[in-house]
Structure 1
Amino acid sequence: MRARLVAWGFFRAQQRAFSTTPRRLESYGFIGLGQMGYQMAKNLQSKLSPSDSVRLFDININATKRLAEEMKVSQTGGAAVEVSRNANDAARESDIVITVLPEPSHVKSVYREILSPDLPGKARVYIDCSTIDPSSSREVARWVADANQGQFVDAPMSGGVVGATAGTLTFMLGAPDALVPRLEPLLLRMGKRVLHCGAQGNGLSAKLANNYLLAINNIATAEAMNLGIKWGLDPKTLANIINVSTGRCWPSEVNNPVKGVVEGAPASRDYSGGFGISLMKKDLKLAIVAAKEADAKLELGDRARQVYEEAEQVGSCRGRDFSVIYRFLGGKE
């Protein structure tokens, strides 16, 4: 009897030791902590296992340190947090590297640094959530493949800073079918929807096609609202008619450019917040470049780009939500 009790005690001790031994599951590198990346990294870290780790890097070292401190102060779980010296350091020990960067030139510069000759070989997955042109993205994917450093996928997102903060982003994923089951749960820690668009580069193509349409719909909505109001129509009446008729679109229904029509829309707070006019100009330019590479004819793209460029130069429009085009047109506020 005593022997059985001793054996049972030894077995329970082994169970406790096994259950409390930390197990490193996966290591993440997160590079690019601007308005979007900062919030995405917070959501990711908070929803990972304590046996995971997240290495942070941004050229703004103060932002990096501030985020690391916020994560540690609020930490009731979540992954361990480290601050990296540079992009290569963030990627070196990571299984998955996530980048969120402003322009194609920034993406290329960061991946040149990551893929330096001294980077140890590892089957990493690189997830680029930047909005860049598909050809630049495919070029970086070739660099990763040529360096035998794993796989590179594109996962641009929709939802803005509000969606990044709330964890409600939609990701448009360009990746091999075999990677989707691994990547989808990870992206859902930072968003609420993952749309697999096909091979690498297709996520960006989908986003740019959507934003091309959005850019033009926004101008058309601003023009239609301005036209109807000048004809004497009440703004809310006009919007209600559009939104139950064939003119209905996101800029008319959700982001209406006229103050007071949609409660909470940027137009009702002097066009602050939302999707900046400079970002829309950037996405539209990328879509036009990609269309030319694909030999896809665009009739409205160049004129729409001119409208956003001209509006951005106006002091009362600069730095505001892209629906401020209504103001640029001289719409009644």
Structure 2
Amino acid sequence: MATNLAKKLSKDDTVLVFDVNSASTKRFAEKASSSKLDSSVEVVGSAREAAERSSTIITVLPEPSHVQSVFKGILASKLPQISSSRSSRLYIDCSTIDPMTSTSVASSVRSLHPNDVFIDAPMSGGVVGARAGSLTFMIGCPESSLENAQAVLKLMGKRIFRLGEQGTGLVGKLANNYLLAISNIATCEAMNLGTKLGLDAKALAELINSSSGRCWSSDTNNPVPGISQGAPAERDYAGGFGLPLMKKDLRLAMTAAQEKEIRLLLGDRAREIYQEVEDVEGGKDFSVIYKYLRDRSEGGSV
């Protein structure tokens, strides 16, 4: 994501980066300096410093508590006036967290700086989409902030869906990822079923992807090695969307459902499956469920 920002911004722009993993930001800055970029890249010492010097602040964090902690630091005191054509700051949070936490942070931003805008803009598309600049963003923001948000997000993605006011982007993301969690398990089971019953994996995948069973997990992120070019299955399920992250998104979706007394029939069992596989496979991509099933069926325990 940051690479696409740095590549596509103008020579007058500077990308300020901060991460608690300093090695990661150092690698990014070194890569940027060796590339022919119009914009410049600078590593800063804190999220607060980045916010002080920026008109647009993008955050991407794993957990609700991380978002709260980062914004507690950013909003520790009133921020200085920004030296740009804009009179206010735009905060774009691309984290997948619960809508309640996001709304609370947005309220904190408004309390300190009434003219600043905090929007939720979770994304879909995975590591492949982030690298290719083809992410889909689901955003919750005021209509008046949409144009400014789109101008930034289009540097990193292709499709942007405004679902309503602040917080609605996360509702859309949790619904989408709940479906993803279920369809991934079903895809892994279907591919294991078909190949164990004698079908060629490529032929089965082609059939599914030309029929009603087609989904992202069968088409773009097929769990069988040799089917989806560049998918984690091609590299022993390293990288991609880790089991802990999928499990986290399931938890967030189910918690949101429980708060509104919405029944989710498959959620509990899906969460058990992801935990079971994580206990064996660790943090590998969530499509490793296919390998988990295959290993156990070969061993006679499934």
- What TM-score, normalized by structure 2, do the two folds share? 0.88
AA aligned opposite 1:90: A
Find the counterpart in structure 1 of residue 44 from structure 2. Answer: 84
Find the counterpart in structure 2 of residue 240 from structure 1. Answer: 206
Find the counterpart in structure 2 of residue 67 from structure 1. Answer: 28
- For 1:153 and 1:47, how far apart are their aligned partners in 2? 22
1:306 corresponds to 2:272: yes
Find the counterpart in structure 1 of residue 64 from structure 2. Answer: 104
Aligned-pair distance for 1:192?
1.9
- For 1:263 and 1:295, how far apart are their aligned partners in 2? 41
Find the counterpart in structure 1 of residue 181 from structure 2. Answer: 215
Find the counterpart in structure 2 of residue 22 from structure 1. Answer: none
Q: Which of these residues, 221, 225, 234, is aligned with residue 191 of structure 2?
A: 225
Partner of 2:137, secondary structure, is strand
Aligned-pair distance for 1:313?
0.6
The 3 A distance-change label for structure 1 pair 53 and 302 is same
The 3 A distance-change label for structure 1 pair 261 and 91 is closer
Q: Please give the residue correspondences for 1:5-16 in structure 2 after superposition, counting only pairs within 5 Å.
A: none
1:114 corresponds to 2:93: no
The 3 A distance-change label for structure 1 pair 84 and 158 is same
Aligned-pair distance for 1:318?
2.0
Find the counterpart in structure 1 of residue 163 from structure 2. Answer: 197
- For 1:113 and 1:269, how far apart are their aligned partners in 2? 38
- Counterpart contact for 2:6–2:37, Cα < 8 Å: no
1:167 corresponds to 2:133: yes
AA aligned opposite 2:210: V
Find the counterpart in structure 2 of residue 140 from structure 1. Answer: 105
Aligned-pair distance for 1:103?
1.0
1:125 corresponds to 2:103: no
The 3 A distance-change label for structure 1 pair 166 and 247 is closer
Find the counterpart in structure 1 of residue 257 from structure 2. Answer: 291
AA aligned opposite 1:138: T
Find the counterpart in structure 1 of residue 286 from structure 2. Answer: 322
Find the counterpart in structure 1 of residue 243 from structure 2. Answer: 277
1:258 corresponds to 2:224: yes
AA aligned opposite 1:322: F
Aligned-pair distance for 1:97?
0.9
AA aligned opposite 1:329: L
Partner of 1:55, secondary structure, is strand
The 3 A distance-change label for structure 1 pair 43 and 228 is closer
1:95 corresponds to 2:55: yes
Find the counterpart in structure 1 of residue 16 from structure 2. Answer: 55
The 3 A distance-change label for structure 1 pair 301 and 98 is same
Structure 1 portions without partners, runs of 5+: 1-39
The structure whose Rg is larger is 1
Partner of 1:51, secondary structure, is coil
- What TM-score, normalized by structure 1, do the two folds share? 0.80
- For 1:107 and 1:245, how far apart are their aligned partners in 2? 41
- For 1:309 and 1:205, how far apart are their aligned partners in 2? 24
Partner of 1:330, secondary structure, is helix
- For 1:92 and 1:273, how far apart are their aligned partners in 2? 33
Find the counterpart in structure 2 of residue 154 from structure 1. Answer: 120
- For 1:220 and 1:233, how far apart are their aligned partners in 2? 17
Find the counterpart in structure 2 of residue 35 from structure 1. Answer: none
- For 1:103 and 1:82, how far apart are their aligned partners in 2? 25
Give the aligned length.
291
- For 1:50 and 1:108, how far apart are their aligned partners in 2? 33
Cα deviation digits, residues 134-182 of structure 1 (max 9, x gap): 1111110111111125110011111222222222211111111111111
> Which is worse superposed, 184-193 or 236-245?
236-245
- For 2:250 and 2:162, how far apart are their aligned partners in 1? 22
Structure 2 portions without partners, runs of 5+: 82-86
The 3 A distance-change label for structure 1 pair 234 and 139 is same
Q: Percent identity?
A: 57
Cα deviation digits, residues 74-94 of structure 1 (max 9, x gap): 24422x433322121111132
